[in-house]
Every structure is written in structure tokens, then in C-alpha cells.
Amino acid sequence: MFSYATILDINLHHCLSITTYDEPKTYHRAIKSKDWIQAMRNELPALEQNNTWTSMTLPSDKKAIGCKWVYKLKYNSDGTIEIHTARLVAKEYTQTEGLDYYDTFAPVMKLTTVRLLLALASSQGWLLEQLDVNNAILHGHLEEEV
């Protein structure tokens, strides 16, 4: 059984540990750390295994969309770093609606839905588990030219 002071100390330690770690904003900053380099090395084979792209010659009437790395830390419940994640993403802000794309869709669950499911699981005594799917976004299929 934890005392109130112990719980406060644990929470304070967790908050402070999260704020002391830094996620790089640029590639040049990330390559100074072996952890971020390894995260990028893990991402590239995953993109290739999922057949994320096909290499081809860009038609003369098309403009290439650039890409950039996005870096995120995932934490354990005690505030320690679980994993460094690096994602190679398109610079969608360079696209023009109606020219480069027509609509966007991103499935998002509302917080009220999560609360409802948690309340239902609690009242029914259901077992809850959490799942993280690596590269989940890559499992979709596009029919459009990108």
C-alpha cells in the first residue's frame, strides 16, 4: 500500500523525467544520438516491407512532395523511456487542395467514446488490454495517384 506522499513523489518523478528528455525537431539534431539513428534504421525496412512506395520517374507535369522525419519518445508508466520512434512523413503542407488532393480522412476516436467503453467494461467486469500496432497507417491501400 502506497502512502499519499509516496504517490505524489512517484508522480513528481514521472513528470520531471518526461520533461527532461528531448525529442529532436530536425534530422541534423537527431543524428547526434545513436538512439535516434537506430530508430530511423528501424523505420526504413518497415516502410519497404509494407510496400509503402514504388520508385518511378516523376512525370514532367508533376511536382514531388518532400518528406521529413518526426521523432517521438514513448514512455513506460514509471516515466522511463520505453522506445525512440522515428517516422518518415510527407510534407503535406506543400500540397494544394483541389490540385494535389481532394479530401482527407483520419479515423479518430472521441474521448467520450473511450469513457463510455471504459465504463461499460468496468460495469461488466470485462478484461481490458492495450495494443500498439507498429506502422498501422501503412496497412491502408490507396487507389489514387500520390
pLDDT tens-digit readout, 86-114: 998 888 767 676 766 666 666 677 889 88
pLDDT tens-digit readout, 123-137: 999 998 877 666 665
**Does the model's pTM come out above 0.75?**
no
Task: Of 18, 36, 15, 16, give the one whose Cα is nearest residue 27.
Answer: 36
